A = this chain, B = another copy of it.
Protein backbone atom coordinates (compact mmCIF):
# COMPACT_ATOMS: atom_id res chain seq x y z
CA UNK A 1 0.00 0.00 0.00
CA UNK A 2 2.66 2.45 1.12
CA UNK A 3 4.98 3.38 -1.72
CA UNK A 4 7.67 5.23 0.17
CA UNK A 5 9.28 4.31 3.49
CA UNK A 6 9.25 6.86 6.29
CA UNK A 7 12.77 7.93 7.24
CA UNK A 8 13.51 7.40 10.94
CA UNK A 9 16.36 7.84 13.37
CA UNK A 10 17.47 5.46 16.09
CA UNK A 11 18.60 7.45 19.13
CA UNK A 12 21.24 5.57 21.11
CA UNK A 13 21.65 3.23 18.21
CA UNK A 14 24.92 1.63 19.32
CA UNK A 15 23.61 0.13 22.57
CA UNK A 16 21.96 -3.25 22.86
CA UNK A 17 18.38 -2.08 22.34
CA UNK A 18 19.56 0.35 19.68
CA UNK A 19 21.16 -2.53 17.81
CA UNK A 20 17.88 -4.42 17.95
CA UNK A 21 16.09 -1.42 16.43
CA UNK A 22 18.65 -1.27 13.64
CA UNK A 23 18.39 -5.00 12.98
CA UNK A 24 14.59 -5.13 13.02
CA UNK A 25 14.12 -2.00 10.94
CA UNK A 26 16.59 -3.15 8.28
CA UNK A 27 13.85 -4.69 6.18
CA UNK A 28 10.83 -2.90 7.57
CA UNK A 29 8.13 -2.16 4.98
CA UNK A 30 7.20 1.27 6.38
CA UNK A 31 10.29 2.65 8.14
CA UNK A 32 13.81 3.20 6.92
CA UNK A 33 16.73 4.02 9.22
CA UNK A 34 18.37 7.14 7.85
CA UNK A 35 20.09 8.34 11.01
CA UNK A 36 21.74 6.68 13.97
CA UNK A 37 22.87 8.71 16.97
CA UNK A 38 25.40 7.59 19.54
CA UNK A 39 27.63 8.61 22.39
CA UNK A 40 30.47 11.09 22.03
CA UNK A 41 32.91 8.22 21.54
CA UNK A 42 31.17 7.05 18.40
CA UNK A 43 29.98 10.31 16.80
CA UNK A 44 31.55 10.85 13.42
CA UNK A 45 32.50 7.23 12.86
CA UNK A 46 30.75 4.82 10.53
CA UNK A 47 28.09 2.88 12.43
CA UNK A 48 29.89 -0.32 11.47
CA UNK A 49 32.98 0.95 13.30
CA UNK A 50 31.32 2.62 16.26
CA UNK A 51 29.09 -0.24 17.24
CA UNK A 52 30.17 -3.29 19.22
CA UNK A 53 27.68 -5.51 17.40
CA UNK A 54 26.32 -8.14 19.76
CA UNK A 55 23.52 -9.67 17.74
CA UNK A 56 23.77 -12.73 15.50
CA UNK A 57 24.58 -12.02 11.89
CA UNK A 58 26.21 -8.86 10.63
CA UNK A 59 25.39 -5.14 10.79
CA UNK A 60 22.68 -4.55 8.16
CA UNK A 61 24.09 -3.14 4.97
CA UNK A 62 21.96 -0.02 4.73
CA UNK A 63 22.95 1.18 8.17
CA UNK A 64 26.54 -0.02 8.40
CA UNK A 65 27.91 2.95 6.51
CA UNK A 66 25.81 5.68 8.13
CA UNK A 67 27.90 8.15 10.08
CA UNK A 68 26.92 8.14 13.76
CA UNK A 69 25.52 11.53 14.71
CA UNK A 70 25.18 13.33 18.01
CA UNK A 71 21.79 13.14 19.70
CA UNK A 72 20.13 16.51 19.12
CA UNK A 73 16.79 17.58 17.63
CA UNK A 74 18.26 18.56 14.29
CA UNK A 75 17.88 15.30 12.44
CA UNK A 76 16.32 15.17 9.01
CA UNK A 77 13.64 12.59 9.84
CA UNK A 78 10.13 12.97 11.26
CA UNK A 79 10.27 9.93 13.57
CA UNK A 80 12.79 8.82 16.19
CA UNK A 81 12.97 5.51 17.99
CA UNK A 82 14.69 6.09 21.31
CA UNK A 83 16.98 3.60 23.00
CA UNK A 84 18.82 6.29 24.93
CA UNK A 85 20.30 5.77 28.40
CA UNK A 86 17.95 7.08 31.12
CA UNK A 87 19.65 10.41 31.80
CA UNK A 88 19.89 11.25 28.13
CA UNK A 89 16.32 10.16 27.49
CA UNK A 90 15.20 12.53 30.22
CA UNK A 91 16.97 15.40 28.56
CA UNK A 92 16.52 14.79 24.87
CA UNK A 93 13.15 13.14 24.41
CA UNK A 94 11.18 16.30 25.40
CA UNK A 95 13.47 18.37 23.16
CA UNK A 96 12.63 16.16 20.21
CA UNK A 97 8.91 16.27 21.02
CA UNK A 98 9.04 20.03 21.32
CA UNK A 99 10.77 20.24 17.97
CA UNK A 100 8.01 18.31 16.27
CA UNK A 101 9.34 14.78 16.17
CA UNK A 102 7.30 11.69 16.89
CA UNK A 103 9.32 10.11 19.70
CA UNK A 104 8.72 6.39 20.12
CA UNK A 105 10.66 5.45 23.19
CA UNK A 106 11.66 2.24 24.86
CA UNK A 107 13.01 4.06 27.92
CA UNK A 108 11.37 4.24 31.33
CA UNK A 109 11.58 7.98 31.97
CA UNK A 110 8.15 9.15 30.85
CA UNK A 111 6.24 5.86 31.07
CA UNK A 112 4.18 6.96 34.04
CA UNK A 113 3.73 10.60 32.99
CA UNK A 114 -0.06 11.12 32.91
CA UNK A 115 -0.12 12.52 29.38
CA UNK A 116 2.29 10.05 27.76
CA UNK A 117 0.61 6.99 26.26
CA UNK A 118 2.05 3.78 27.68
CA UNK A 119 1.25 1.71 24.68
CA UNK A 120 0.82 -1.85 23.48
CA UNK A 121 -1.21 -1.79 20.25
CA UNK A 122 -3.07 -5.04 21.01
CA UNK A 123 -3.93 -3.83 24.50
CA UNK A 124 -4.78 -0.15 24.54
CA UNK A 125 -4.49 1.39 21.06
CA UNK A 126 -6.89 4.17 22.08
CA UNK A 127 -4.43 5.49 24.68
CA UNK A 128 -2.93 7.49 21.85
CA UNK A 129 -5.81 9.86 22.61
CA UNK A 130 -3.40 11.25 25.23
CA UNK A 131 -1.22 12.66 22.45
CA UNK A 132 -3.46 15.66 21.93
CA UNK A 133 -3.46 16.37 25.67
CA UNK A 134 0.30 16.00 25.80
CA UNK A 135 0.87 18.41 22.91
CA UNK A 136 -1.48 20.89 24.45
CA UNK A 137 -0.02 20.58 27.96
CA UNK A 138 3.51 21.30 26.78
CA UNK A 139 2.90 23.30 23.65
CA UNK A 140 4.77 20.67 21.66
CA UNK A 141 4.36 20.11 17.94
CA UNK A 142 5.63 16.56 18.35
CA UNK A 143 5.00 13.96 21.06
CA UNK A 144 6.27 11.01 23.05
CA UNK A 145 4.78 7.54 23.26
CA UNK A 146 6.32 4.93 25.53
CA UNK A 147 6.32 1.16 25.67
CA UNK A 148 6.18 -0.63 29.02
CA UNK A 149 9.00 -2.36 30.83
CA UNK A 150 9.93 -5.78 29.43
CA UNK A 151 8.81 -7.60 32.57
CA UNK A 152 5.48 -5.78 32.77
CA UNK A 153 4.95 -6.78 29.17
CA UNK A 154 5.46 -10.47 29.83
CA UNK A 155 2.60 -10.63 32.34
CA UNK A 156 0.16 -8.04 31.05
CA UNK A 157 -1.93 -9.53 28.27
CA UNK A 158 -3.79 -12.19 30.32
CA UNK A 159 -4.41 -9.48 32.93
CA UNK A 160 -6.03 -7.32 30.26
CA UNK A 161 -8.15 -10.13 28.88
CA UNK A 162 -9.33 -11.24 32.31
CA UNK A 163 -9.92 -7.68 33.43
CA UNK A 164 -12.28 -7.21 30.51
CA UNK A 165 -13.95 -10.55 31.17
CA UNK A 166 -13.98 -10.92 34.95
CA UNK A 167 -12.94 -7.60 36.52
CA UNK A 168 -9.37 -7.61 37.80
CA UNK A 169 -8.78 -6.57 41.44
CA UNK A 170 -5.43 -7.80 42.68
CA UNK A 171 -2.28 -9.35 41.32
CA UNK A 172 0.67 -11.08 42.97
CA UNK A 173 3.44 -11.80 40.54
CA UNK A 174 6.91 -13.26 40.69
CA UNK A 175 9.08 -12.89 37.61
CA UNK A 176 12.05 -14.90 36.42
CA UNK A 177 13.87 -12.58 34.04
CA UNK A 178 16.56 -13.11 31.46
CA UNK A 179 20.01 -11.56 31.64
CA UNK A 180 19.64 -9.75 28.32
CA UNK A 181 17.20 -7.46 30.11
CA UNK A 182 20.17 -5.81 31.80
CA UNK A 183 21.87 -4.75 28.57
CA UNK A 184 25.56 -5.21 27.83
CA UNK A 185 27.83 -5.91 29.63
CA UNK A 186 25.00 -6.02 32.16
CA UNK A 187 25.04 -8.99 34.48
CA UNK A 188 28.42 -10.42 35.45
CA UNK A 189 28.77 -14.13 34.79
CA UNK A 190 30.36 -14.36 38.24
CA UNK A 191 27.09 -13.19 39.76
CA UNK A 192 24.53 -15.23 37.86
CA UNK A 193 26.22 -18.55 37.05
CA UNK A 194 24.66 -21.33 39.17
CA UNK A 195 22.56 -18.68 40.89
CA UNK A 196 19.38 -16.62 41.08
CA UNK A 197 19.50 -12.92 42.01
CA UNK A 198 16.20 -11.94 43.63
CA UNK A 199 16.55 -8.27 42.83
CA UNK A 200 16.47 -5.99 39.79
CA UNK A 201 16.78 -2.30 40.62
CA UNK A 202 13.51 -0.42 40.17
CA UNK A 203 11.77 -3.41 38.62
CA UNK A 204 9.26 -4.18 41.37
CA UNK A 205 8.08 -0.56 41.26
CA UNK A 206 7.58 -0.73 37.50
CA UNK A 207 5.77 -4.04 37.75
CA UNK A 208 3.46 -2.69 40.44
CA UNK A 209 2.60 0.59 38.66
CA UNK A 210 2.73 0.16 34.90
CA UNK A 211 -0.21 -2.29 34.81
CA UNK A 212 -2.47 0.33 36.44
CA UNK A 213 -1.83 2.60 33.49
CA UNK A 214 -1.91 -0.08 30.79
CA UNK A 215 -5.24 -1.38 32.08
CA UNK A 216 -6.60 2.12 32.69
CA UNK A 217 -8.79 4.21 30.42
CA UNK A 218 -8.36 7.50 28.66
CA UNK A 219 -11.48 9.56 29.30
CA UNK A 220 -11.81 13.01 27.75
CA UNK A 221 -8.12 13.00 27.04
CA UNK A 222 -7.22 12.24 30.66
CA UNK A 223 -5.60 9.09 32.02
CA UNK A 224 -7.72 7.20 34.53
CA UNK A 225 -5.65 4.48 36.20
CA UNK A 226 -7.15 1.07 36.72
CA UNK A 227 -8.21 0.21 40.26
CA UNK A 228 -6.00 -2.82 40.66
CA UNK A 229 -3.41 -3.63 43.31
CA UNK A 230 -0.20 -5.32 42.25
CA UNK A 231 2.47 -7.02 44.35
CA UNK A 232 5.60 -7.91 42.39
CA UNK A 233 8.95 -9.52 43.06
CA UNK A 234 11.49 -9.65 40.23
CA UNK A 235 14.24 -12.26 39.98
CA UNK A 236 17.15 -12.61 37.58
CA UNK A 237 17.76 -16.18 36.41
CA UNK A 238 20.52 -17.70 34.23
CA UNK A 239 18.53 -17.48 31.00
CA UNK A 240 19.61 -15.53 27.92
CA UNK A 241 16.26 -14.27 26.66
CA UNK A 242 12.62 -14.52 27.74
CA UNK A 243 10.92 -13.19 30.86
CA UNK A 244 8.65 -15.62 32.66
CA UNK A 245 5.99 -14.43 35.12
CA UNK A 246 4.15 -16.58 37.67
CA UNK A 247 0.96 -14.74 38.56
CA UNK A 248 -1.99 -15.08 40.95
CA UNK A 249 -4.98 -12.78 40.53
CA UNK A 250 -8.16 -11.85 42.33
CA UNK A 251 -11.13 -10.96 40.14
CA UNK A 252 -14.62 -9.60 40.64
CA UNK A 253 -16.48 -12.47 39.03
CA UNK A 254 -14.64 -15.73 39.49
CA UNK A 255 -14.78 -17.92 36.40
CA UNK A 256 -14.08 -21.63 36.10
CA UNK A 257 -10.67 -22.59 34.83
CA UNK A 258 -12.21 -23.56 31.52
CA UNK A 259 -13.85 -20.16 31.20
CA UNK A 260 -10.58 -18.44 32.07
CA UNK A 261 -8.75 -20.42 29.40
CA UNK A 262 -11.52 -19.83 26.88
CA UNK A 263 -11.27 -16.10 27.47
CA UNK A 264 -7.61 -16.28 26.45
CA UNK A 265 -8.24 -18.49 23.46
CA UNK A 266 -11.15 -16.57 22.01
CA UNK A 267 -9.72 -13.12 22.59
CA UNK A 268 -9.36 -11.03 19.43
CA UNK A 269 -6.86 -8.24 18.95
CA UNK A 270 -8.36 -4.83 18.19
CA UNK A 271 -9.19 -4.50 14.48
CA UNK A 272 -6.54 -1.86 13.98
CA UNK A 273 -3.85 -4.44 14.74
CA UNK A 274 -4.64 -6.36 11.58
CA UNK A 275 -3.08 -3.51 9.62
CA UNK A 276 0.24 -3.61 11.49
CA UNK A 277 2.87 -5.38 9.40
CA UNK A 278 4.86 -6.64 12.41
CA UNK A 279 1.89 -7.97 14.39
CA UNK A 280 2.18 -11.74 14.90
CA UNK A 281 -0.38 -14.03 13.33
CA UNK A 282 -1.40 -15.30 16.75
CA UNK A 283 -0.93 -12.95 19.67
CA UNK A 284 -1.77 -15.32 22.54
CA UNK A 285 -0.67 -18.93 22.45
CA UNK A 286 -2.22 -21.01 25.21
CA UNK A 287 -0.16 -24.15 25.86
CA UNK A 288 -2.01 -26.87 27.77
CA UNK A 289 1.11 -28.79 28.86
CA UNK A 290 1.81 -28.40 32.59
CA UNK A 291 5.49 -27.62 31.97
CA UNK A 292 4.99 -24.66 29.61
CA UNK A 293 5.71 -21.86 28.92
CA UNK A 294 9.48 -22.21 29.01
CA UNK A 295 11.84 -19.38 28.06
CA UNK A 296 14.05 -21.26 25.64
CA UNK A 297 11.25 -23.14 23.91
CA UNK A 298 8.68 -20.36 23.66
CA UNK A 299 10.47 -17.02 23.44
CA UNK A 300 10.79 -16.98 19.68
CA UNK A 301 7.15 -17.80 18.95
CA UNK A 302 5.60 -15.33 16.50
CA UNK A 303 9.02 -13.86 15.75
CA UNK A 304 9.33 -13.01 19.43
CA UNK A 305 6.09 -11.03 19.48
CA UNK A 306 3.63 -13.59 20.86
CA UNK A 307 2.63 -14.17 24.47
CA UNK A 308 2.84 -17.80 25.48
CA UNK A 309 0.53 -18.54 28.40
CA UNK A 310 0.07 -21.72 30.42
CA UNK A 311 -0.87 -23.36 33.70
CA UNK A 312 -4.16 -21.54 34.18
CA UNK A 313 -5.41 -22.92 37.51
CA UNK A 314 -7.53 -21.97 40.46
CA UNK A 315 -5.53 -20.11 43.10
CA UNK A 316 -6.37 -21.38 46.59
CA UNK A 317 -5.72 -17.91 48.05
CA UNK A 318 -6.81 -15.47 45.35
CA UNK A 319 -8.89 -16.64 42.36
CA UNK A 320 -6.80 -17.64 39.37
CA UNK A 321 -3.21 -18.39 38.46
CA UNK A 322 -1.22 -18.48 35.23
CA UNK A 323 2.25 -18.24 33.77
CA UNK A 324 3.13 -16.03 30.85
CA UNK A 325 6.24 -15.46 28.80
CA UNK A 326 7.45 -13.01 26.18
CA UNK A 327 10.78 -12.32 24.55
CA UNK A 328 12.15 -9.41 26.55
CA UNK A 329 14.24 -7.71 23.86
CA UNK A 330 11.69 -8.24 21.09
CA UNK A 331 8.06 -7.93 22.28
CA UNK A 332 9.38 -6.41 25.53
CA UNK A 333 11.58 -3.80 23.87
CA UNK A 334 12.50 -3.07 20.24
CA UNK A 335 9.77 -5.00 18.42
CA UNK A 336 7.14 -3.65 20.78
CA UNK A 337 8.22 -0.07 20.12
CA UNK A 338 8.24 -0.65 16.37
CA UNK A 339 4.70 -1.99 16.63
CA UNK A 340 3.82 1.26 18.42
CA UNK A 341 5.29 3.15 15.48
CA UNK A 342 3.17 1.16 13.07
CA UNK A 343 0.06 1.92 15.09
CA UNK A 344 0.86 5.62 14.98
CA UNK A 345 1.10 5.42 11.20
CA UNK A 346 -2.26 3.68 10.88
CA UNK A 347 -3.85 6.13 13.28
CA UNK A 348 -2.44 9.05 11.29
CA UNK A 349 -0.12 10.44 13.96
CA UNK A 350 2.83 9.73 11.68
CA UNK A 351 3.02 9.85 7.96
Query: For residue A117, which residues in chain B have a CB less than 8 angstroms away from its CB?
Result: none
In the complex, the answer to whether A244 meets B316 with C-beta atoms within 8 Å is: no
Q: How far is the CA of A292 from the CA of B238 in the complex (A)?
A: 16
Residues B190 and A180 in contact, CB atoms below 8 Å apart: yes
In the assembled complex, A296 has its CB within 8 A of some CB on chain B: yes
Contact (Cβ within 8 A) B172 A248: yes
**Chain B: minimal CB distance from A185 (Å):** 4
Q: Does A40 contact B (CB under 8 A)?
A: no
A199 located at the interface, meaning its Cβ lies under 8 Å from any Cβ of chain B in the complex: yes
Q: Is A293 an interface residue (CB 8 A)?
A: yes
Write the nearest CB–CB distance from A170 to chain B, whole angstroms: 5
Tell me whether A196 and B239 are in contact (CB under 8 A).
yes
Of residues 312 to 346 in A, which have CB atoms within 8 Å of B's CB atoms? 315-318, 321, 323
Minimum C-beta distance from A2 to chain B (A) = 30
> In the bound complex, do residue B171 and residue A174 qualify as a contact, i.e. CB atoms below 8 Å apart?
no
Specify how many copies of this chain sit in the oligomer: 4
Q: What B residues does A235 contact at CB under 8 A?
A: 176, 244, 246
A184 — nearest CB in chain B belongs to which residue? B190
Given contacts A196-B295, A238-B238, are A185 and B184 in contact (CB under 8 A)? no
Q: Does A179 contact B (CB under 8 A)?
A: yes
Contact between chains at B246 and A174 (CB < 8 Å): yes
CB of A189 within 8 Å of the partner chain = yes
Residues from chain B with Cβ under 8 Å of A265 in the complex: none
Question: Is A179 a contact of B196 with CB atoms below 8 Å?
Answer: no
Whether A136 is near chain B, meaning CB under 8 Å from some CB there, is no
Question: Mask for A168-189, Cβ within 8 A of B = 1, else 0?
Answer: 0011101010011000111111
Residues of A231-257 at the interface with B, using a CB-CB cut-off of 8 Å, are: 231, 233, 235, 237-240, 244, 246, 248, 250
Q: B residues within 8 A CB of A198? A: 244, 246, 291-294, 310-311, 323
